[in-house]
Copies of this chain bind each other. A is one copy, B any other.
Amino acid sequence: MQDIEKHLLHRDVQDALELIGGRWRGAIMTSLCGSPKRFSELKEDLKPITSRVLTKELRYLEQNKLINVERSTAAANSVLYTHSEHGSSCGPIILQLRDWAIKHREIMLEYLKE
């Protein structure tokens, strides 16, 4: 029983890190924390991401309900990306990770001095 739970624990962590891990997914979610954005704004914000990769990651996040995609029927070629309700709930966690990474860099730098 405990064994099963332990394994599930790891699997959940792996799931989470697949959802927001990788080179770009966390950064995309971070970028959308500030405000909804269009494709070109994301591309600019996340430079040097390519449109191929940005498209792919946005589709992934959409399929996993972390973002909403508003494809305006009125104005063609205008698509707005926003956090889904559930997607926005991971924002604070990602920001904690960011703070942790900043602290980590300081620690590593200090260590290199010695």
- A residues contacting B by CB (< 8 A) are 6-7, 9-10, 12-17, 19-24, 26-27, 30-31, 34, 45-47, 64-65, 86, 89-90, 93-94, 96-98, 100-105, 107-108, 111
- The A interface, classified by DSSP as helix, strand, loop or mixed, is helix
- Can you tell how many copies of this chain the complex includes? 2
Residues from chain B with Cβ under 8 Å of A31 in the complex:
6, 10
**Cα-based distance from A64 to B7 in the complex (angstroms):** 25
A22 touches B26 (CB 8 A): no
11 contacts between A and B (CB under 8 A): A7-B45, A10-B27, A12-B98, A13-B26, A19-B101, A21-B22, A65-B107, A65-B111, A86-B107, A90-B97, A93-B93
A21 touches B19 (CB 8 A): no
